[in-house]
A and B are shown apart, each in its own frame.
Chain A
Amino acid sequence: MRFMVFVRSPKPVAARHGDSLLRAGVLLDAGDLVPHACGVSGYWLIDVRSREEAVERIRRIPLPACVVEIRQVAVV
């Protein structure tokens, strides 16, 4: 199942910190967004086996002072 992970931080960090997801073969897409005060600064789109796996994988990425939102992509 796919999850979109939104990273909120003052500076874009997602594109630089997705390495562990890439090596695990779960990263489908990643990107930084044009800065916006305290808003979403970047995203990862991952394909994992469960919500728990998504949480465990994201939890381990060292992201100081960021808020992360993990949302499942709806299956059409």
Chain B
Amino acid sequence: MGATTSVHRTIDAVWRMESAKVIAALARYTRDVGLAEEMAQDALVAALEQWPAEGVPRNPGAWLMTTAKRRAIDQIRRRENFNRKVEEIGREVQEATPDASEGIDDEIGDDLLSLIFTACHPVLGTEARVALTLKMLGGLKTEEIARAFLVSDATVAQRIVRAKKALADAGVPFEVPEGPELATRLASVLEVVYLIFNEGYSATRGDDWMRPELCAEALRLGRVLAELAPKEAEVHSLVALMEIQASRAKARTGPNGEPVVLLEQDRGKWDWLLIGRGLKALERAEALNQPPGNYYVQAALAACHARARKPEDTDWQRIAALYQVLAQISPSPIVELNRAVALSMAFGPAAGLALVDEISGEKALQGYHLLPSVRGDFLVKLGRTEEAKAEFEKAAALTRNEREKTLLLERAAACG
């Protein structure tokens, strides 16, 4: 029993390491990601049947690959589809021997990248892209994905089946996009990776055990992507952003699980190894000299905080300047509000108040409690307590979060 479980754990590990490569290589031969994924699953079932009795082969990745390819040929033959594909795959299988000494690592890069682009294709909805990516690239089981997203196994299974069908129906080619298409396709990939990260990072949903696992998965995916597409600055920027955010994981909640805001976090609890990695990734992005993208600015903002050993060392002028860049790339009143806070930290509350008053007419900010809350904060610092009191009360009436409401009312009361 003990030996069996240990073999199963090894199979689990091998699967997570090899499945993406097996699916990617199969998809290149069959030009059918859905079929490739099914055949890889079949190979896993075969491994679960054979390895506990026969032992784990010396090169488990090559074993999975060969088995999956054989199944793919059978499948295609069964469909009576004797076309060029069969010959091609047949040749490949003869060439690949299960104990080939170097495994399947080396020339797989482009296939893996094609698989990422396919799983994150914009014809798919967000949930489908996330599920397919975790399944095919992360090697997660359907149950694990379901657990992470608080939905039933059947829901995830159905999402994946539908996604594969949608890819086939749309005739999505298995390839790395080029030219003008690349930018939008890459944005779609990065969006999925960051969504997975945030799903793990947000404290509001999901299982305790799967949540950090999602962050780790997104980080690994991002790092793999950075090696596969080293000339894309936004990839390095996203990695930097995730490394720096992950570095604060232990400091961002208090002993009772309550959130601790950035400036009040114990920086000794930050993971300085991850910060170092994040700053290095940011340097790689900068070295490419590409126009700043959204992830770059966000990562650069995170880096401003990460570089400061104490909150008072924070470079607020740079933060204000970065928000200005962000406002140009993706203009939003929320960004302006953040810029106002940075300006007040850099140049005093009057500078912040001036910007807030400039944007307070914006439609998107109406009913947004942070606007009066931030304004109240500036007014307190300027000694205009009576006006501040009114702002805090206004903010308290707007927020739906009870804890925040109490806090705002306390601030209003403190204004006398």
**A residues apposed to B, CB below 8 Å:** 20, 22-26, 28-29, 45, 47, 49-50, 52-53, 55-57, 60, 76
Contacts and interface: CB of A to CB of B under 8 A. Distances in A.
A52 B227 contact: no
B17 A56 contact: yes
25 contacts: A22-B223, A22-B227, A23-B105, A24-B220, A24-B224, A25-B222, A25-B223, A28-B273, A47-B216, A47-B219, A49-B16, A49-B216, A50-B9, A50-B12, A52-B6, A52-B9, A52-B10, A52-B12, A53-B16, A53-B17, A55-B10, A56-B14, A56-B60, A57-B17, A76-B250
Report whether over half of chain A's contact residues are helix, strand or loop; otherwise say mixed. mixed
Most buried by A among B6, B10, B223: B223
Nearest to B276: A29
Nearest to B112: A23
Contacts of A26: 220, 223
Contacts of B17: 24, 53, 56-57
B273 A23 contact: no
Given A49-B16, A53-B17, A25 B105 contact: no
Nearest to A1: B216
Contacts, number: 50
Interface in B191-236: 213, 216, 219-224, 227
Interface residues of B, number: 23
Instruction: Report the 5 A-B pairs with minimum CB-CB distance, sorted nearest first.
Output: A25-B223, A25-B220, A52-B13, A53-B13, A25-B224
Contacts of A47: 216, 219-220
Contacts of A53: 13, 16-17
A35 B144 CA distance: 44
